[in-house]
Amino acid sequence: MNRIELGLDTFGDVTAGADGKLLPQSQVIRNVVAQGILADQVGVDVFGVGEHHRPDYAVSAPEMVLAAIASKTERIRLTSAVTVLSSDDPIRVYQRFATLDAISNGRAEVSLGRGSFTESFPLFGFDLADYDRLFEEKLELFAAVRSEQAVTWSGSTRKPLENQEVYPKTGRADGLPVWIAVGGTPESVVRTARHGFHLTLAVIGGEPARFAPYVRLFHDALEKYGFDRRRVAIHSPGHIARTDEEAKEQFWPHYRQLIDKLGRERGWPPTSRAKFDGETAHGALYVGSPETVARRIAGTLRTLGADRFDLKYGSGPLPHELMMSSVELYGTVVKPRVLELLA
């Protein structure tokens, strides 16, 4: 197993203040920066910020938030979680993260995906009927730009490029680290391997062990395409408090509010406390005391043969103060315990 890393992800959920009212998105963004700075101070390896374009999430430009964090941190690596490549321009995405890499002195990564929401498609003038084609072609172009060589490319989603240089260049011998976030379809896993990128599995429901076939498929596909080993990360939601019961009671009402809101949008049935308790016991919710969460993370990494775990540490309007406490416990207690369990 490669070196184990523990990261944190946030989508910049709009959170409640001390009076119970939702905070302005501007304050939420400042709070995310504070959370990222704390993550660096307590030894977390990676901090990821997601991209959304809807009222319940504050961050639409992750690299801007990451640049602010970069200016006040020293060691933590900074990534998106995720950048919705389908509705963006691959060249501009690369330029923004190459700039972030310069600002952070080589600490930038990028995580690309199609996203679990579709608001960015009409916002930026794209047709959802082109969902698959947009991602496929734009990923090919991004891979070409990442080589930091002159790009010659043609496709159906934009005008062709002929021997075009793209700036700035990172000058990194091994290239800007690129992760592809997938929800667990074989086609997405194989596509990631075909480009030789790292794989992030979004495990947000059910038992994590069911993703083991996708990890095997990824490694088999890498070998087929002539690449050596690439890294596998797990992205799952969770929350940490002093005791299991405290963590559940803090997290449950905000998680229920988030899931039921999404359910109304997508036609899901309302969630239940019994389902929540099942997910925290053996499913995709890593909620509990530091010891409980550390044991569950270590078990997941061992079962799936993954070498990175990224905890999505906020959910719905969970207050900033509780997220800060969760971040601190994750870095100071959970991370060293996971490494001890896997040693």
Q: Give the pLDDT mean for 70-94.
A: 98
Q: Which helix (H) or strand (E) holds 77?
A: strand 77-80
In a 3-state reduction of DSSP, which class is residue 90? helix
Q: Return the pLDDT at 269.
A: 92
Alpha-carbon span 299 to 8, nearest angstrom: 18
Q: Return the pLDDT at 115.
A: 80
Residue 211 has pLDDT above 70, yes or no: yes
Q: Are 333 and 242 in contact (CB under 8 A)?
A: no
Residue 72 placed within a domain? yes
Q: Return the pLDDT at 2.
A: 74
Residue 334 placed within a domain? yes
How many structural domains compose the chain? 1
- Largest Cα separation within the chain, whole Å, is 60
Q: Residues 322, 325, 330, 331: what is their CA dihedral angle, to the nearest 10 degrees?
A: 150
Determine what percent of the chain is predicted with pLDDT higher than 90: 98
Residue 152 placed within a domain? no
Residue for token pair 């990222």 = 36
Domain extent at residue 221: 5-119+175-342
- Average of per-residue pLDDT values in the chain: 97
Residue 22 placed within a domain? yes
pTM of the model: 0.97
Going by pLDDT thresholds of 50, 70 and 90, the confidence category of residue 151 is very high
State both tokens at 95.
């330029």
Query: How many helices and strands in the chain, by DSSP H and E?
Result: 12, 12
Residue 140 has pLDDT above 80, yes or no: yes
Q: Are 59 and 51 in contact (CB under 8 A)?
A: yes
Residue 168 placed within a domain? no
Residue 149 placed within a domain? no
Q: Are 311 and 7 in contact (CB under 8 A)?
A: yes
Q: Return the pLDDT at 124.
A: 96
Residue 42 placed within a domain? yes
Q: Return the pLDDT at 1.
A: 54
CATH number at residue 300: 3.20.20.30
Q: Are 209 and 264 in contact (CB under 8 A)?
A: no
In a 3-state reduction of DSSP, which class is residue 288? strand
Residue 308 has pLDDT above 80, yes or no: yes
Q: Return the pLDDT at 272.
A: 97
Alpha-carbon span 269 to 309, nearest angstrom: 29
In a 3-state reduction of DSSP, which class is residue 330? helix
Q: Give the pLDDT mean for 15-26.
A: 94
Residue 302 placed within a domain? yes
Q: Give the pLDDT mean for 286-294.
A: 98
